[in-house]
Amino acid sequence: MFVSFEGVDGSGKTTQARLLEEHLRGLGRDVVATREPGGTALGEELRRLVLNGPDISPWAEAALFAAARAEHAAEIIRPAIARGADVVCDRFVDSSLAYQGIARGLGLELVLQLNLTVLEGLLPDRTFVVEVDAGTAAARRTGDPDRIEQEGDTFQTEVGRAYAELAARFPQRVELLDGRRPPEEIAAEVRRRLAL
């Protein structure tokens, strides 16, 4: 299976991705854990540029994320799925739909079409969005904020609303999780929903 985790920065999505990976490995399954942007040499370079580089326009941002995602799918995700491995990804296409398509106003359909084109239709089997309010997420973040995190609580609130919109639009694939609960409780719910 191919599962992705989404949410605003500081939501706990990375923790949930790690907990699912550990659980699947404990079951003896072949697991590929990866992240976006990143996962490949090109993806890591683009991650550095997009998150810590100069300000860029929304479409340039969307295009760079799509380029990194295309390489990620070709190099890491498709080969893993082809050999029967489970893929657990910390962010994937829904990040672009929420951040660039909705919160930045580029248009959900346009950003979705760009990504479906470069991914040749590849989407996760299930996407879990860990929901928390912007203030809680900000309090959880550690280290120096990246370029997107520096945009503040108002933008993060818009992103949170965008994820809720995605769950309503794609209910067969995108599911919301209450991120205010303890991580182990959320992880248990993820396992129940995946019938693990």
Chain segment 121-144, per-residue pLDDT in tens: 999 999 999 999 888 888 888 788
**pLDDT of 58 strictly over 90:** yes
Q: Rounded to 10 degrees, what is the CA torsion of 35, 36, 38, 39?
A: 40
pLDDT for 192 equals 98
**74 Cβ partners below 8 Å, 6+ apart?**
none
The fold of the 2-193 domain, in CATH, is Rossmann fold (3.40.50)
Residue 54: asked if its preceding bond is cis (omega within 30°), the reply is no
Listed by start position, the domains of the chain span 2-193
0.85 surpassed by pTM: yes
Per residue in 140-178, pLDDT tens?
Answer: 887 888 888 888 889 999 999 999 999 999 999 999 999
